[in-house]
Structure 1
């Protein structure tokens, strides 16, 4: 068993160091020669969770001559990089293959706001093989009124992309308290095959992965524990990511790709509803690798070697937490994925299904707003619509079989979907295509079908997670919120939500809410664009309702409650969307950091719009892709700054009276260029944009 810390010995060492800088804390002077060798520490070192008196240290130790063997190491922490002022030496720590040779150690009893150096030593052939030297910094003490500086980063796809953003941060040598990483530290998919020499993750056990067919070819999605470990092992071989970890402590939370794209709980979304995708074991594998490879401490473990077997995993996971930095900042880290319910519009929703009927509209006081014929619906089970129902059912079965379902399953799903209230906006075009007369809408009840929300196809994310009609979606969301007592939109879950609100109080000058997904509303307003055709497309659209736009009532409630508890000294930092935003959302300043390397939202919007049937020559494409930034500003007047095509990071400095933010950006087209040996060229490609945040306001600095 690894040896735990002896607190009395640790305190004695600290006191001795204070008295004499020449004092070393080991029992004996070092007699063996020390040689740094990264081959024994292929993922280098890292630190995280900086608190006033503690920090978590991490490494992975593998003996190249005996790669499967357990090894014993020594952990050293010092006030200087020569380790003459040691404050800790922990010997005989066993690193096992059971957890892929990773080691996490929580060091306590440290001094506040102090820089420490650390390393790991492994005795081999009469010498001590040392890890790279890491440096870390503890948080200010509770009463300290000092500025706090940190970087916000997220979304670092590795495949065929280079970490120019990390290289630039290292060039700047920013004096930081920590890096907050908002999620998508790894991406769970990788192409099944690639040419030799291409920068790409390869699974050592590909049979354990899921095989997914995409327009770009077959990809493998991590599923086994081995697969997820391969992701972290490979990502952490990047030299610039390694050096960022060596230089700064990280505070990390996950988003979706640490498990599965657009996930909720243990549910994946690869098949858009064609298959059931509850994957509990896969989720637990993903979490285990996350906890093994990142220096996180969500449960505030006791001092000493962190017991990785004791870390709770799904469904008992807790990664939400709060960290204090003097009187200036309380960082509230949230988990958007683990407890959230499904997206409000199912990917397999039948477009004709009425989601908000006449009674619901009346309850919401919106009967008059939806009186037009386009919102008419009928009970398709009524005898007079028997023929129409048969045709609709046939249409459903045909679409489902084309999507890959077996006929028996398609027919069963058709029986469940083609029943009860059906929206004529979808029913009548189907009837016309079969040569039948449409159903007269006169005198029929009014309501909203999924088709009115932009859901025009079965088994599609369009109209479900992406590109939904804003005004009708908001009504549907309001009805789901009302009819479920808020449950349909409570993406944080009851326990975490209570924690966030309770933690938002306190004496710190500023509360910074860490959200993996952006609260900035991304709206395409095409209502007054006469060149947009057909006319039915002239609506307002949410681009992405996987993020906070998807839960508008809960977003409004939560931000309002947080504003009250923080006296408006609240900022949200977020990522996920692969774009840069500085905006004010319902009175709350929001800073959305760009992706480190993942495809920009400009690229992704182009794919979604093309998939919806609008080519580059169309007005729709021009507004939502070519002129995307201007369209987003028009759709959300709260946006102060937007860049949808750049990679980079955001440096945030929190002071007692204000928050400053600097966006460091490089064009997303540079992601495929390796600037590792061209630092001057890299520096010239970056631009900087500065902003000042005061309660409820963002302005250019």
Structure 2
């Protein structure tokens, strides 16, 4: 018996109404409607016998609302150019003894035989089971859960947020571990796939069960890597990633709310531009961007709008929001499709260094100011969100009546800077102390004196032979003999690092640090509206961070406004490892090695990068820059608790056995206070 009402066929999304589900209090008012077909078929198209087909990528659900959820699968097999009939069944019982949906859907070759079906008319806060059938083949059973109705009093909400699951490095044991958590849903902060194969950052240890990927088409880069270019390339990546049973199990167990970051299209992208070379700034890649948009839409169980007839790269809108009872509003933003070019274009800097990474702070601020002035103060040319989405964000956050306002944010809001003069001063102070160990207690004044001397020398164009006036005076006051002072100065002068390091640097201008004016404007909005309990959920940077986001990081006394929680990548190589590779391979940065790592008596690496980061960024309450892992958040009315799970490393090509977690750090945010404490 067909126990469902079939509402409409869609080219991209179909919608069915459950027959016995009780309608909840409605979804979010910004939900995107399903896109109807211009010629909906009156009966589903015929298909070949069912034993030709399988469900190689499993099943998935997403975007849970009080009365609806999106269900997904893909049929794998050969049916020529014809659609394939697929039966969808939904039940409140794991044995499917009573069906509330029993619908026939058509998986079209136009969408790579993927299906996205939005089931409406469901009951709020309810667990459902679903499966797909074609012929005599049945998919794995999926389990999903609708959101509590808006305003419903909740004692607790629990979810995980994850990011950066590069197939080509490390392991995916974290997914297997997460399946055993008792979660309401999972938030994916992007970098679900990586568009490159064979890139330098994808080298290292990897599970033997993850075979090397080969793109169907791909484009060769100068460094020997290939990057996805066509719709077939992007589909291949999603199908390959979804072939892993651990990722399938995670999707089958929990509804996932996903947003993209950059690698779903291109590393450090903006709009339809890639950034592999300095020349890429000038060349739009609209066809490639559209291919990435379509593949993401095909493979994500997301309640979003997509218009293939729109020939621009703005043919999809994925920013959206969710409400969970009286506890949480979750606002998911798209921080790639509308963002302006980096303030310092790669073409101007000549490379990513000086443009996106290790960017002089004063230069960045000056150029951002120039762009703002040229635009009459409008944020458009220096924006991550774009004007329309920023206004929408303000509306969603400003109108939220829940205790917590969660922001699915992708790139960190936390300032991450290094004062090159102080960093070099610290290293040279260590050299002085090595010659005179009795000066060990004077590390801080030595560092300050040397840093000031180097800045003065650079300003006076005498960096090759600094006078070291401050250092000489300090040492003389400490009764160091003049001959020894001269010897120390001579030794320091002979080993000075490049003058370009004597500056203040933003480590990553692809983050909000590179779009400071918009960040300040958004923090000003929160302050002006007196909006509290705003917490960002962030990924991208392959490290754990937690701390308050300031109204103006450059103010004499910055004021905390909200909190940013940043999870490490599930598998991607760590933030610290990238800096280690630079100081190990680039002579210009070799002297900075102690700021990134040292070695102990057994030759094992000791991570010093955490301390380096916190010493220049006092708002960073917690840092673990060398980790893979995930985060689990438990929300209550009085506090938010976030557990950062650092995973055990891979060994001989094999992922660690369960439990995969090596250590857990819990951080807490008390309601009403934009601060982080370590539990």
How does the TM-score come out when normalised to structure 2? Answer: 0.75
The 1:541–1:612 alpha-carbon spacing in structure 2 relative to 1, beyond 3 Å, is: farther
Map of 1:46 onto structure 2: 60
Q: Secondary structure of 1:5's partner?
A: strand
CA apart distance, 1:132: 0.2
The 1:144–1:673 alpha-carbon spacing in structure 2 relative to 1, beyond 3 Å, is: farther
CA apart distance, 1:219: 1.4
CA apart distance, 1:204: 5.6
Contact preservation (8 Å) 2:638, 2:670: no
Residue correspondence of structure 1 range 438-477 to structure 2 within 5 A: 459-477=350-368
Asked whether 1:691 is paired with 2:642, we answer no
Map of 2:222 onto structure 1: 213
The 1:672–1:101 alpha-carbon spacing in structure 2 relative to 1, beyond 3 Å, is: farther
Asked whether 1:88 is paired with 2:94, we answer no
Map of 1:478 onto structure 2: 369
Contact preservation (8 Å) 1:312, 1:318: no
Structure 1 CA distance for aligned equivalents of residues 510 and 111 of structure 2: 33
Residue among 589, 599, 613 paired with 1:632? 613
Asked whether 1:71 is paired with 2:84, we answer yes
Asked whether 1:648 is paired with 2:605, we answer no
Residue among 482, 486, 497 paired with 1:534? 497
CA apart distance, 1:652: 1.1
Asked whether 1:156 is paired with 2:170, we answer no
Contact preservation (8 Å) 1:582, 1:642: yes
The 1:180–1:89 alpha-carbon spacing in structure 2 relative to 1, beyond 3 Å, is: same
Q: Secondary structure of 1:227's partner?
A: helix
Asked whether 1:249 is paired with 2:255, we answer yes
What do residues 531-557 of structure 1 show as CA deviations (whole Å, max 9, x unaligned)? Answer: 353373233211110110101121111
Mean Cα deviation higher: 463-472 or 73-82: 463-472
Asked whether 1:175 is paired with 2:182, we answer yes
Q: Secondary structure of 2:264's partner?
A: coil
What do residues 642-662 of structure 1 show as CA deviations (whole Å, max 9, x unaligned)? Answer: 001111111112222221111
The 1:500–1:87 alpha-carbon spacing in structure 2 relative to 1, beyond 3 Å, is: same
Map of 1:340 onto structure 2: 339
Structure 2 CA distance for aligned equivalents of residues 248 and 541 of structure 1: 41
Map of 1:592 onto structure 2: 566
Asked whether 1:5 is paired with 2:14, we answer no
Map of 1:188 onto structure 2: 195
CA apart distance, 1:496: 0.3
Contact preservation (8 Å) 1:501, 1:565: no
Structure 2 CA distance for aligned equivalents of residues 139 and 602 of structure 1: 38
The 1:239–1:492 alpha-carbon spacing in structure 2 relative to 1, beyond 3 Å, is: same
The 1:177–1:310 alpha-carbon spacing in structure 2 relative to 1, beyond 3 Å, is: farther
What do residues 321-345 of structure 1 show as CA deviations (whole Å, max 9, x unaligned)? Answer: 1111111111111111111111111
Asked whether 1:603 is paired with 2:577, we answer yes
Map of 1:498 onto structure 2: 391
The 1:51–1:256 alpha-carbon spacing in structure 2 relative to 1, beyond 3 Å, is: same
For structure 1, which runs of at least 5 residues remain unmatched after alignment?
17-35, 300-306, 350-454
Q: Secondary structure of 1:543's partner?
A: strand
CA apart distance, 1:487: 2.5
Residue among 496, 507, 520 paired with 2:414? 520
Structure 2 CA distance for aligned equivalents of residues 250 and 106 of structure 1: 14
Contact preservation (8 Å) 2:90, 2:129: yes
Map of 1:234 onto structure 2: 240
Q: Secondary structure of 2:301's partner?
A: coil
Residue among 95, 101, 116 paired with 1:104? 116
Structure 1 CA distance for aligned equivalents of residues 54 and 363 of structure 2: 58
Structure 2 CA distance for aligned equivalents of residues 583 and 504 of structure 1: 20
Asked whether 1:581 is paired with 2:590, we answer no
Map of 1:403 onto structure 2: none
Contact preservation (8 Å) 1:517, 1:574: yes
Residue among 141, 144, 149 paired with 1:141? 149
Q: Secondary structure of 1:670's partner?
A: coil
Structure 1 CA distance for aligned equivalents of residues 88 and 174 of structure 2: 31
Structure 2 CA distance for aligned equivalents of residues 289 and 631 of structure 1: 40
What do residues 408-451 of structure 1 show as CA deviations (whole Å, max 9, x unaligned)? Answer: xxxxxxxxxxxxxxxxxxxxxxxxxxxxxxxxxxxxxxxxxxxx
What do residues 551-579 of structure 1 show as CA deviations (whole Å, max 9, x unaligned)? Answer: 11211111221344462221111110111
The 1:589–1:671 alpha-carbon spacing in structure 2 relative to 1, beyond 3 Å, is: farther
Residue among 223, 227, 240 paired with 2:229? 223
Map of 1:404 onto structure 2: none
Asked whether 1:549 is paired with 2:513, we answer yes
CA apart distance, 1:94: 1.3
Structure 2 CA distance for aligned equivalents of residues 298 and 267 of structure 1: 23
CA apart distance, 1:670: 3.0
The 1:311–1:118 alpha-carbon spacing in structure 2 relative to 1, beyond 3 Å, is: farther
Structure 2 CA distance for aligned equivalents of residues 593 and 38 of structure 1: 42
For structure 2, which runs of at least 5 residues remain unmatched after alignment?
9-14, 24-49, 429-495, 551-559, 598-606
Asked whether 1:571 is paired with 2:571, we answer no
Q: Secondary structure of 2:535's partner?
A: strand
Which ranges of 4 or more aligned residues in structure 1 deviate by more than 6 Å?
A: 36-39, 192-198, 310-313
Contact preservation (8 Å) 2:67, 2:146: yes
CA apart distance, 1:294: 0.6
The 1:98–1:308 alpha-carbon spacing in structure 2 relative to 1, beyond 3 Å, is: farther
CA apart distance, 1:621: 2.2
Structure 1 CA distance for aligned equivalents of residues 577 and 366 of structure 2: 30
Contact preservation (8 Å) 1:145, 1:656: no
Residue among 485, 488, 492 paired with 2:381? 488
